[in-house]
């Protein structure tokens, strides 16, 4: 299910994504930009009232960390 968000004055997309998804790893911001053509033209600080489509994105699986010394 796709969610829509209405921006507030001077919000940044990274923060909107972090609040909605709880993470920003794994190209989250890029995926949201792809779903909202023209959104990048507003720059870093968004104006109030933009309707932003927030598609479903699964949190990427974390790779186990290789420990050389244990």
Q: Is the pTM of this model over 0.85?
A: no
- Alpha-carbon distance of 14 to 39, in angstroms, equals 13
First to last CA, the chain: 44
Q: Which residues pair with 4 in a beta bridge?
A: 53
How many domains is the chain partitioned into structurally? 1
CA distance linking residue 15 with residue 3, whole number of Å: 16
Strands 3-6 and 51-54: antiparallel
pLDDT tens profile 14-70: 999 999 999 988 899 999 999 999 999 999 999 999 999 999 988 776 666 777 776
* pLDDT mean over 4-8: 97
Range of the domain at 17: 3-54
Residue 9, in any domain of the structure = yes
């Amino acid at each position: 299910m796709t969610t829509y968000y209405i921006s507030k004055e001077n919000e940044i997309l990274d923060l909107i994504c972090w609040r909605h998804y709880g993470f920003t790893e794994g190209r989250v911001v890029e995926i949201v930009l792809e779903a909202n053509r023209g959104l990048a033209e507003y720059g870093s600080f968004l104006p109030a009232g933009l309707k932003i489509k927030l598609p479903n994105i699964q949190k990427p699986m974390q790779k186990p960390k290789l420990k050389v010394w244990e």
